[in-house]
Chain A
Amino acid sequence: MKRRASFVACLALLCALPAIVAAAQDPAAAAPEFDAKTLTRIRQHSPRPPPPADPTNRVADDPRAAAFGQRLFFETRWSKNGEISCATCHEPERAFTDGKQLGEGLGKLERHTPSVLDVAYNRWFFWDGRADTLWAQAPGPLENDAEMGATRVGAAALVAEDAALRAAYTELFGAPPDVADRTRFPRDAKPSATNASANAAWLGMREEDRDAIDVVLANLAKSFAAYQRKLVTGPAPFDRFVEGLVDGDTTKLAALSPSAQRGLALFVGKANCRLCHSGPNFSDGEFHALGLVPLAGPPPRDSGRHAGAKLVKEHPFNAASRFSDARDGDAALRLSTVRSAPEMWGEFKTPSLRNVARTAPYMHEGQFTTLEQVVRFYSTMEGALPVGHHQETILQPLGLTDVEIADLVEFLRTLDGTDPPEELRRPPGAR
């Protein structure tokens, strides 16, 4: 009630303020005047609340699990060549991405590496959403032979044999299983559709041994997640600007240049980016097909959400699995309502636009090098593949002017938040 009253009271002032600020800075460049509807829309993007809880992970917000997870994130020993950690591709000094078009570990990947900054806000994980929780995501890269090529048995062995890892694990989850017997616990064993010998070794193990290993893997996964949940960025210039809209503080309003303010007006207005890049995280968390041409040329081979919707339900570590700490919770209900349909072919997750200036290149194959290229694509849709039968028909060429394109890019650059604390951006204990 009170908030609404003060909101209304400020409204008249607010509409005029950006213009005043702009005039003071550069009389030639006009900042837009936001009407009430535009203001309401702008405020849907800020402030950003803390990340949602994850009841499927009982250690999600346990600082000890985060510290353990941080150790694991920078751990290279379990990778097949002993050199690759999560941070090899999610480099802290590159906003936890790798700057490459396609990810590269032991081999070349088929998709672009997204940032894990602010990842705790996401609803689905991976470009195709094939993981429904942050922790369910982690076993993928660990065991993928093109990424780290580790095995869950090898990982459990490292935890059992390394004194520091063992102590941290034990404090959180109890003592890890004794895997000293290498015939019972072959180090190269993991379930795999592509690695026949690893798969055979895995199937050769006793069921209760496989079970014990899976429990370790789930616990490690939950610790990776606890760490990544802390990689939250601080307020961006845009957030400061919205504060200014609310409290009328002109220094805060100066956080956005007139050009960025015009870009913002376009974003929530004529360009309608807010349709998909909605809410404080600038993402609806769902999936859309933009008709991007694959790097290898048409026709596209990556079915995106079409396969992801199926995979997420079959995922052995999903919210409804026996490893979940909330099997009947909201996440499990959400999972059970996932729809898979032919029109989802070629759909990919709407990425958050926070910190986007630091995470080039863009899109699921890193198709675009600059933000300007991205906005030009939305403007002309040049080269876009035709939408399939039954597919959504949201995107139309926007026909933006060069100034409008520059304004939108300028606005996107104001979504850059401050980095998480330095001690979270390096291996624990290192400096």
Chain B
Amino acid sequence: MDIIMSGFFQRALIGGMLIGITAPLMGIFLVLRRLSMIGDTLSHAAIAGVALGFVIGDFPILFGLIFALLASFAIEKLRKSYKSYAELSLAIIMSGGIALASIFFTLGRDLSMDANSFLFGFIYTLTPIDLWTMLGVTVAVLLIVGKHLHGLFLITFDEEAASVSGMPVSYYNILISVLTALVISISIKIVGGLLVSALLTIPAACSLLLAKSFKQSIMIVVLVGEVAVICGLLIAGVWNLAAGGTIVLVLIAFLLLILLGRNIFSRIA
């Protein structure tokens, strides 16, 4: 129990509560547009950036962010060149990110860094600066999404109608990718690069089973994400488990419970 009282765990909890809002919030837009793979791709690019940050010495979140941003622009570019084969561009960038990361890992071998920490999360390394970065990104994401919610809904629901209503569709596409890149890079230290896409997509999967309206679906993803991150971190803290993995398993447990509940409910009703 002492671990929960410790400074680094409190930091992890605060950071977790921040990404528990933003990651599922961006995830719902990606999932509804059938672009969940973008989250996965950006996070693999971010892993490479974080690895480079450690090789150079510091600012892993910053480098992760830069790599994820570069990847999000590259996706848009490639998407235009391949049009109907969008997932091809994702596959290329995803493997490119992992390839780079693996090279950086071997370069940084003497730096006594642990590849596991990028891949699966490493809450013990969270610094106060990381927390401030997370807070800044969270505030920015909430302001931008709040301001553009109507446009984001329209483009998510019906991209053609958005275009005919005169909305700058490609600007919105870039906005979504950039915000996702931001959210992923702040989430890596807590849930890890390989698991961050679960925090983007599983809350959305839960909300698709429950929500009747778009408003509800946004409230549900944030609620599910938040509860899962807090439960996951507490369980991980008490039993000394990997934080990222525990959070993701809690998310999956939620999804299974909802599925089960729906089955039972539809049988009685």
**Does B associate with A?**
no
Q: Which chain B residues have a beta carbon within 8 Å of chain A's beta carbons?
A: none
Q: Which chain A residues have a beta carbon within 8 Å of chain B's beta carbons?
A: none
